[in-house]
Structure 1
Amino acid sequence: MNHNNDRPTNQSVKALDRAHVFHSWSAQGALDPLAFKSGKGCRLWDYDGREYLDFSSQLVNTNIGHQHPKVVAAIKAQAEELTTIAPAHANLARGRAAEKILARAPAGFDKVFFTNAGADAIEHAIRMARAVTGRDKVLSAYRSYHGGTGAAVVATGDFRRIPNEFARGHVHFFNPWRYRSEFHATSDEEECQRALHHLRRVIESEGPGNIAALLLESIPGTAGVLVPPRGYLKGVRALADEFGIVLILDEVMSGFGRSGAWLALEHFDVTPDLITFAKGVNSGYVPAGGVIISERIAHHFDDEMFYGGLTYSGHPLAMAAICATLDTMAEENIVDNAAHIGDTVLTPGLARLQARHEVIGEVRGLGVFHAIELVADRQSRAPLDAAAMGRIKAALLERGLLPFVVANRIHVVPPCVVTAEEAERGLAIIDEVLGAFAG
Structure 2
Amino acid sequence: MPPTPDATAPGAAVPDRGRADACPGALRLHPADDGALARVRLPGGLLTVRQALALADAAEALGDGELETTSRGNVQLRGLASHCGAELAERLRAVGLLPSDTHERVRNIVTSPLAGLDGHGFADVQAWVRELDARLCASDWAAGLSGKFLFALDDGRGDVAAFDADVTLIAGPDGSALLRLGRAAHGRPVPAGQEVTAVLDAARTFLDVLRESGRKAWHLREVPELLPAGPVPVPAFAGAAPAVGVVPTAGVVRTVGPLATVAGGAVAGGLSVGMRFGRAGAAQWRELAGACAGEIRLTPWRGAVLPGAPADRLPALAAAGFRTAPGSPWERATACTGLPGCANSRADVRADAARALDAAAVAGSPPVMGLPAAGLPVHWSGCERRCGHPAGRWVDVLATGQGYRVTVNGPASAGAAVDVTNEEMAEAVAEARRTTK
Greater RCO structure (CA 8 Å; 6+ sep): 1
- More helix by proportion, 1 or 2? 1
The TM-score with structure 1 as length reference comes to: 0.32
Q: Which is higher, the Rg of structure 1 or of structure 2?
A: 1
TM-score when normalising by structure 2: 0.32
